Amino acid sequence: MKSVLKKNKKYAVKKEFKRINKIIPLLINIMIPILAIILIGYINRNALDTYRSLKGILVKEMVIIFPIGYGIIYILMGVSAYRIYIRNKSGVDDKGAYFTYFIQLCINFIWPFLFFTFRLYGLSFIWLIILLVAVLITFYKFFRVDKLSSALLIPYIAWIVFISFLNYFIWFYNEM
């Protein structure tokens, strides 16, 4: 009886360890983009007044929509990246998908500085187009590895298209 209990306890500990080993990468993959947006928000905290003074479509409303939209999208991005990470760890060739994800994340990280810090609305619009291309490449690579991971990026793609239009009109009304 004691040996059965000992085996069950050992099995339970092993099972719990496996569960924790799956949760930690999930949390890391979600926290990377979220910590990036927190850092960007902190660095650009004084740019909010400048943003409110801009002319354009939905400028005032975006002050509320930005944090909610980015929060949801970055969680979806993290879950998507986690799924690719897990596939890669289990021996599936991710075809460079995880690396491509981090490249587009770096491109994404630069845009707020171009837009909010330096107020380069034209360049930031072009940068968003570059970001969109990078995300579409990431989407394609994710699709080849895990269809659900690519589906989780669809709101991100839609968001970038929306932000690109918004950025264009801010550029149009404030610099052209």
In order of 102, 107, 157, the CA distances from 116 in angstroms are 22, 15, 21
Mean pLDDT of 108-136: 96
Instruction: Give me the CATH number covering residue 167.
Output: 1.20.1260.100
3-state helix, strand, coil in the chain (%, to 5): 85, 0, 15
User: What domain range is 146 assigned to?
Assistant: 2-174
- In this prediction the pTM is 0.86
Contact between 164 and 132 under an 8 Å Cβ cutoff? The reply is yes
- For the cut 80, the answer to whether the pLDDT of residue 26 exceeds it is yes
Please give the pLDDT value at position 176.
65
Interval 124-144: pLDDT, tens = 999 999 999 999 999 999 999
Distance, in Å, from the CA atom of 66 to the CA atom of 119, rounded to the nearest integer, reads 17
Quote the strand ranges of 58-174, DSSP E: none
Encoded tokens for 103 = 């490249």
Q: How many domains does the chain have?
A: 1
Encoded tokens for 56 = 């354009």
- Nearest Cα to Cα of residue 159 among 36, 76, 51, 55: 76
Please give the pLDDT value at position 3.
65
Q: For residue 131, with 0-12 CB atoms within 10 Å meaning exposed, 13-18 middle and 19 or more buried, which class applies?
A: buried
